Amino acid sequence: MNEKYKSLFEPFTFKSGVTIDNRIVMAPMTTNSSFENGMVTTDECMYYNRRAKGLGAVITACAQVREDGKFAGSLSAASDMHIKSLAKLAKSIKSTGTKAILQIFHVGRNGSVSTLRGLQPVSASAVASEREGAETPRALADDEVRDIITAFGEATRRAIEAGFDGVEIHGANTYLIQQFFSPHSNRRDDHWGGTLEKRMNFPLAVIDSVKSAIAKHTDKPFILGYRISPEEIEEPGITLDDTLALLSKLKDQGLDYIHISTGHYMQSSIRDQDNKTPVLKTIVEAIGAEIPIIGVGQIITPDHAVEAMEKLNLPLIAIGRQLIAEPDWIEKVKAGKEDSIRTEIRPEDQEELALPDAMWEYVNASPGWLPIVE
């Protein structure tokens, strides 16, 4: 191994007591490859198994906590009938010696009537997102909000029973938890909205539900993470100051880490063009001494990973798309073969890379998302 990459391979122990072998984790990425009922496919298990070896942990694609919270091809942790299926996924990852973390979510207003089999998408308020083709959701009643909070705890129990080493609460990427925190999607005036503090009540209640499930259903160390998107471009939308206020609450919730979802690890504010400080740097300086922060975004080479750790003072690094292109990234760096890391994909590589057909179709429909060359 090249000496300059040694810091990437130092073990890390979370507050819960779980230790991972190194500082690199696989970022959660949609595969679109589960069965319609949310069961794990063999292709998905092979996809994760192909990439897991040598990583500190794998964070899976998001698994819905209720069937009214899914998108096409997403995993499900919505009922006990999914436990056996989830166990296959956990086993496929853990068989490599790597920790397995299940990301749990509810799609909220990003769902569609067709995907939800005739059900109208739900959210904090009846406000459609600004994306093309967005459907107007139905505002959740108070008892429905509380049912979803309970569902996050139940999904956590299923993750425990399936053999996962942890869960990551998906409070990012414009899904339901973020929708409750956002002033764009949350126009409520009850316990769940109306002020910045009340918009925090839903994510904090979800965390409490998940923590209760962990305490009740396992006596082993179990990782609890939370993912967040620091800003929104909508008006009104989440500002960096809003996020710092939420993070000041999250750091005291007994979480093992907070995962910041950004497009690039050196990305500055998308709302304030005059602010050139990387968002991750701002967040680490605010709360990094009190809780571990995972940084992510266009980390392609080990030099990028070291730069992110050193310049931003990050203890943990998540790699996403680059692990699709190069499943052996961590093993090659460990062996001193970083010059052989693949940075482009050719159509004939699909089988060797263990990319499910549905995922291959998905990435081909999103030009530029992966470095595919003919």
Domain assignments of the chain as residue spans, ordered by start: 3-341
Is the confidence at residue 28, as pLDDT, over 90? yes
Say if CB 129 and CB 195 are below 8 A apart. no
Amino acid at 234: E
Distance CA 233, CA 152 (A): 28
Annotated catalytic residues are 175
Q: How confident is the model at residue 78 (pLDDT cuts 50, 70, 90)?
A: very high
State pTM to two decimals: 0.98
What percent of the chain stands above pLDDT 70? 100
Sign for the pseudo-dihedral over CA of 275, 277, 282, 285: negative
Domain at 3-341: CATH code: 3.20.20.70
* Per-residue pLDDT reduced to its tens digit, 230-269: 999 999 999 999 999 999 999 999 999 999 999 999 999 9
In the prediction, which pLDDT does 362 show?
Answer: 87
- Please say if the pLDDT value at position 363 is more than 90: no
Q: What is the pLDDT of residue 264?
A: 98
Question: How many angstroms separate the first and last alpha carbons of the chain?
Answer: 33
Nearest in space to 60 (alpha carbons), one of 299, 193, 303, 227: 227
| Rounded CA separation 176/105 (Å) | 7
Burial of 128 from C-beta contacts in 10 A (0-12 / 13-18 / 19+): middle
Give residues with Cβ within 8 angstroms of 201, minimum separation 6. 180, 191, 192
Contact 120, 95 (CB under 8 A): no
